Chain A
Amino acid sequence: MARIQLTVDGASVADDVEPRMLLVQYLREKVGKTGTVIGCDTSNCGACTVHLNGRSVKSCNVLAVQADGAEVTTVEGLAQDGELHPVQEAFRECHGLQCGFCTPGMIMQSIDLLNENPNPSEEEIRLGLEGNLCRCTGYHNIVRSVQHAAANGGVS
């Protein structure tokens, strides 16, 4: 067991974890952050995407011990004081989700994309999200959602 201490969605947490525990397992099983989900075993689907020190990572590809001392933001930490994050709002406005299982990862990756490039082209959005799989929407409305968020003040 290894002792880790980190910040998750603004709250300080500390736990003893097995060295092999993945960050996504830690978030779901120890911290109760079940908004972040597991969709595959091979880091292809991106459903587990969170921010680690402000950058997107697939949390199935990071060990919990690697997040020691870090600041983690999940989809549950985006809305502030009941106000949705602009990218969350954009996904709702543009119907960028259907079953919603890929959505936490899509939103976290979209925010990272917009942080990097506040005015991405359609092509840049598609490339920026290619590590995140969605089976319902055909991506069309996901791209629209990111464009909508960009046009409405981006991620700030």
Chain B
Amino acid sequence: MTATQAAPTNEIGRDRRRKEDQRLITGRTRWTDNIVLPGMVHLAMVRSPFAHAKILSVETSAAKAATNVVAVFTGADLADEQGSLPNAWPITPDQVTPPHPSVAVDRVAFAGEIVAIVVARSAAEARDAAELVDVDYEELPAALDLKEAAGDAVLAHPDLGTNKSALWVFNSAEAGTGGNVDEAISKGRGDGIVIEREYRQQRLIPAFMEPRSVVVDPTGEQVTMWSATQIPHILRFLLAAVLGIPESKVRVIAPDVGGGFGGKLQTTPEEFLAMVIARRLGKPVKYTETRSESLMAGHHGRDQWQKLTLSAEKDGTVTGLKVELLADLGAYVALIGGGVPVLGAFMFNAIYKFPSYHFQVQTVLTNKTWTDAYRGAGRPEATYAIERIMDELAAELGVDPIAIREKNWIKHEEFPFTTVAGLEYDSGNYEAATTQALENFGYDALRAEQTQRRESGDPVQLGIGVSTFTEMCGLAPSRVLGSLDYGAGGWEHAAVRMLPTGKVEALTGASAHGQGHETAFSQIVADRLGVAFEDVEVLHGDTAIAHKGLDTYGSRSLVVGGEALVRAVDKVIEKARPIAAHLLEASVDDLDFSGGRFTVRGTDAGMAIGEVALATFAAHNLPDGVEPSLDSDATYDPVNFNYPHGTHLCAVEIDTETGQVKMRKYTCVDDIGNVINPLIVSGQVHGGLVQGIAQALWEEAVYDDTGTLVSASFVDYLVPT
């Protein structure tokens, strides 16, 4: 009754093929939209075609009379019940936050906002009847352009009197983390260098492949929600908090979830409406969005104007950095909303030793789709801008862009290093990553070719891009998040259940949607507990099973959730130790634990952890006062972020006659610490690279001058193929 397979000696660093894949490659999947419940009815949304309009009337009688329509709800019908969608991160005490009803009551603030909900026996009938809802609008002027909106020329929400939501400022002189940036810039204007630039971070759409879907099953007082979400635990808490349903009555399940990239780190109008309507009707309901709805109404990302002023001495040593951002919130302040650019506040100084720093962001309301986390959430935006301006500094001085970076970056012997933004970087070796990247890339040869092409006037020119980065990852330290007025902690929870057959269930509060947690977390448990990889089952994404957690975003699952799991495993071993000693008739102090076995030092006697689990289950012969259970849990809250870094190099051929861009070579060297599964990690890097390349070359959420999203299908929103 012990582990059925030979325990491996070391699982960490193995290219394990994924446990998730069997169901995904055979189509035996558990997407939310697959769920069918007896008596289930379907929702279709009637959405505003206008960016900003008063709702004069909503005529529903034709829709109500349509075949198999069960009900039609308007904002007026649900006004008392729906509450306001939550913003969990008010970045300043005086942040202007418009109320955000799930279904608009008397005014719509972006094209795509829900104005009515049709419930029918099939999704097709619900959509047909949605066409019969007649909404009378009075169009209002729309605030669309970010810069113009920041000047309050047209108000996105007239009642608020301003589009300016919050001004968040960090100043190193006030924080005591550095000098006065205005003095540095003034000095630079005198006898050094000052570079001022403005960069645009275009609006992007996460464009996860699985459209969002939600199913709600009310059974008596209890209610279960399945949702294509990254955050089942946060969603459960907020459903309870906003709607006043006891949290203990709500179960949220994130079954197989088809990608997120931050786009499913949200509590959505559709989820709240499905919950309210299912409870009101007493029937299970389902809503699955179309792709156009997804692109139009799921939150967008990025969308900043970035003004940077960098000062340096004549030799290229940086002396100050001033960052002034405008960030487009869209029509409402989303769950993390204004916090996204604040995450960037800590990253503009990047890997460099700036003696002075000033950052400010003005978040701005407009009549466009709300924005929130997308792939890196504020931090890639910062990396883009600082690396662009470091290139400008190199160009100003006529030196190689690598050389200017090396002159200013933190040297590996200087870690741990407290930055001008107040973070303590624990480690880094920018020299090693860059040297390796240059070698792999063949940097010198490509530079020589670039020179040759320029001199010969070749119509196809070679461009070479250079970028370093670091990111604050492992979003966790609860105290730090608290100091930034973030509405939650950042710990993660894990539990380990020892089954009497020697199998192990590992529960994690992280909630995977493509990252391979079932595989990587199995490797961690197998390695630490000395059981077979195949004998570990990872359970996640269900608040009734993995009952406690803060979910998956911000590069946190492995570094926070994985460590919680390690600590839970260690507790299992410590609970097993006195039981093993008792059964082996040895002293606890004489036991060693290795490779999944307790052994009595100096003897052949020993027993496997699975045998201890069986004996504990039987509980016939336990030491006095010891509980008959090895099950353990742990909640881990790190004291700092972690700081992966890397150097990326890209060569592109640009046809100067046609503008055609062809990527010739891309090399990256990332230092990401201990790798649990290299196969999974390299896959994540590939995917991230292509999303970054797509931002550079193709993707943008484009609005016309009436506030209609033009790129509202995959015909126009150019996800790379």
- Please report the C-alpha to C-alpha distance between residue A135 and residue B211 in the assembled complex, in whole angstroms: 12
- B6 part of interface (Cβ distance < 8 Å): no
Point out the residues of chain A lying under 8 angstroms from B258, CB to CB.
37, 99-101
B696-721 vs A, Cβ < 8 Å mask (1 yes, 0 no) = 00000000000000000111000111
Inter-chain contact A76/B714, CB cutoff 8 Å: no
Q: Which of A78, A88, A135, A137 is within 8 Å of B261, CB to CB?
A: A135
Inter-chain contact A102/B209, CB cutoff 8 Å: yes
Inter-chain contact B26/A99, CB cutoff 8 Å: no
- Please report the C-alpha to C-alpha distance between residue A137 and residue B211 in the assembled complex, in whole angstroms: 18
Q: Which of B26, B210, B256, B690 is within 8 Å of A88, CB to CB?
A: B26
Instruction: Give B278 Cβ to nearest chain A Cβ, in Å.
Output: 20
- A120 part of interface (Cβ distance < 8 Å): no
- A63 part of interface (Cβ distance < 8 Å): no
A97-113 vs B, Cβ < 8 Å mask (1 yes, 0 no) = 11111111001000000
CB-contacts of B25-40 with A (<8 A): 25-29, 31, 33-34
Inter-chain contact A74/B686, CB cutoff 8 Å: no
- A92 part of interface (Cβ distance < 8 Å): yes
Point out the residues of chain B lying under 8 angstroms from A140, CB to CB.
686
- B514 part of interface (Cβ distance < 8 Å): yes
- B147 part of interface (Cβ distance < 8 Å): no
- Please report the C-alpha to C-alpha distance between residue A105 and residue B256 in the assembled complex, in whole angstroms: 17
A99 touching B28 in the complex, CB below 8 Å, given contacts A39-B291, A41-B290, A138-B689: no
Inter-chain contact A41/B25, CB cutoff 8 Å: no
Inter-chain contact B25/A103, CB cutoff 8 Å: yes
A136 touching B714 in the complex, CB below 8 Å, given contacts A79-B26, A98-B514, A100-B256: no
The stretch that binds A, out of B16-24, B166-174, B383-391, is B16-24
Point out the residues of chain A lying under 8 angstroms from B291, CB to CB.
39-42, 45
Inter-chain contact B714/A42, CB cutoff 8 Å: yes
- Please report the C-alpha to C-alpha distance between residue A88 and residue B28 in the assembled complex, in whole angstroms: 13
Q: Closest chain B residue to A89 by CB distance?
A: B25
Q: Which of A36, A38, A41, A141 is within 8 Å of B27, CB to CB?
A: A36
A126-155 vs B, Cβ < 8 Å mask (1 yes, 0 no) = 000111111111111100000000000000
Inter-chain contact B21/A92, CB cutoff 8 Å: yes
Q: Closest chain A residue to B28 by CB distance?
A: A35
- Please report the C-alpha to C-alpha distance between residue A137 and residue B516 in the assembled complex, in whole angstroms: 12
- B208 part of interface (Cβ distance < 8 Å): yes
- B680 part of interface (Cβ distance < 8 Å): yes
Point out the residues of chain B lying under 8 angstroms from A39, CB to CB.
209-211, 291
Q: Which of A35, A44, A98 has the most CB of B within 10 A?
A: A98
Inter-chain contact B210/A37, CB cutoff 8 Å: yes
- A13 part of interface (Cβ distance < 8 Å): no
Point out the residues of chain B lying under 8 angstroms from A78, CB to CB.
26
- B639 part of interface (Cβ distance < 8 Å): no
Inter-chain contact B25/A84, CB cutoff 8 Å: yes
- B513 part of interface (Cβ distance < 8 Å): yes
- A93 part of interface (Cβ distance < 8 Å): yes
Inter-chain contact A47/B17, CB cutoff 8 Å: no
Q: Which of A79, A107, A130, A139 is within 8 Å of B690, CB to CB?
A: A139
Q: Closest chain A residue to B35 by CB distance?
A: A34
- B675 part of interface (Cβ distance < 8 Å): no
Instruction: Give B121 Cβ to nearest chain A Cβ, in Å.
Output: 12
- Please report the C-alpha to C-alpha distance between residue A58 and residue B207 in the assembled complex, in whole angstroms: 20
- B158 part of interface (Cβ distance < 8 Å): no
Q: Closest chain A residue to B17 by CB distance?
A: A92
How many residues does chain A have at the interface if contact means C-beta atoms less than 8 Å apart? 49
- Please report the C-alpha to C-alpha distance between residue A18 and residue B125 in the assembled complex, in whole angstroms: 12
Point out the residues of chain A lying under 8 angstroms from B97, CB to CB.
none
Point out the residues of chain B lying under 8 angstroms from A28, CB to CB.
34
- Please report the C-alpha to C-alpha distance between residue A134 and residue B210 in the assembled complex, in whole angstroms: 10
Inter-chain contact B683/A141, CB cutoff 8 Å: yes
Instruction: Give A73 Cβ to nearest chain B Cβ, in Å.
Output: 11
Q: Which of A79, A88, A129, A135 is within 8 Å of B207, CB to CB?
A: A135
Point out the residues of chain A lying under 8 angstroms from B207, CB to CB.
135
Q: Closest chain A residue to B26 by CB distance?
A: A79
Inter-chain contact B690/A41, CB cutoff 8 Å: no
A100 touching B29 in the complex, CB below 8 Å, given contacts A39-B210, A40-B291, A130-B721: yes
B486-522 vs A, Cβ < 8 Å mask (1 yes, 0 no) = 0000000000000000000000000001111000000
Q: Which of B207, B261, B291 has the most CB of A within 10 A?
A: B291
Inter-chain contact B27/A45, CB cutoff 8 Å: no
Inter-chain contact B27/A137, CB cutoff 8 Å: no
Instruction: Give A105 Cβ to nearest chain B Cβ, in Å.
Output: 10
- Please report the C-alpha to C-alpha distance between residue A121 and residue B449 in the assembled complex, in whole angstroms: 28
Q: Closest chain B residue to A88 by CB distance?
A: B25
- Please report the C-alpha to C-alpha distance between residue A42 and residue B290 in the assembled complex, in whole angstroms: 10
- Please report the C-alpha to C-alpha distance between residue A22 and residue B691 in the assembled complex, in whole angstroms: 31
Point out the residues of chain B lying under 8 angstroms from A42, CB to CB.
291, 713-715
A133 touching B209 in the complex, CB below 8 Å, given contacts A95-B17, A98-B516: yes
Point out the residues of chain B lying under 8 angstroms from A129, CB to CB.
721
- Please report the C-alpha to C-alpha distance between residue A107 and residue B34 in the assembled complex, in whole angstroms: 20
Inter-chain contact B25/A134, CB cutoff 8 Å: no
Point out the residues of chain B lying under 8 angstroms from A41, CB to CB.
290-292, 713
- B338 part of interface (Cβ distance < 8 Å): no
Inter-chain contact A99/B513, CB cutoff 8 Å: yes
Inter-chain contact A133/B721, CB cutoff 8 Å: yes
- Please report the C-alpha to C-alpha distance between residue A104 and residue B18 in the assembled complex, in whole angstroms: 17
Instruction: Give A132 Cβ to nearest chain B Cβ, in Å.
Output: 8
Point out the residues of chain A lying under 8 angstroms from B290, CB to CB.
41
- Please report the C-alpha to C-alpha distance between residue A35 and residue B33 in the assembled complex, in whole angstroms: 11
- Please report the C-alpha to C-alpha distance between residue A44 and residue B714 in the assembled complex, in whole angstroms: 6
Query: Can you name 11 A-B pairs with beta carbons within 8 Å?
Result: A37-B31, A38-B33, A41-B290, A42-B291, A78-B26, A92-B22, A101-B259, A104-B27, A131-B721, A133-B721, A135-B261
Extra contacts besides A98-B514, A137-B687 (19): CB < 8 Å:
A34-B33, A39-B211, A40-B714, A44-B714, A75-B27, A92-B17, A92-B21, A95-B679, A98-B515, A100-B21, A100-B25, A101-B259, A129-B721, A135-B259, A136-B514, A136-B683, A137-B686, A138-B687, A141-B683
Q: 3 smallest A-B Cβ distances: which pairs?
A: A35-B27, A99-B514, A101-B258
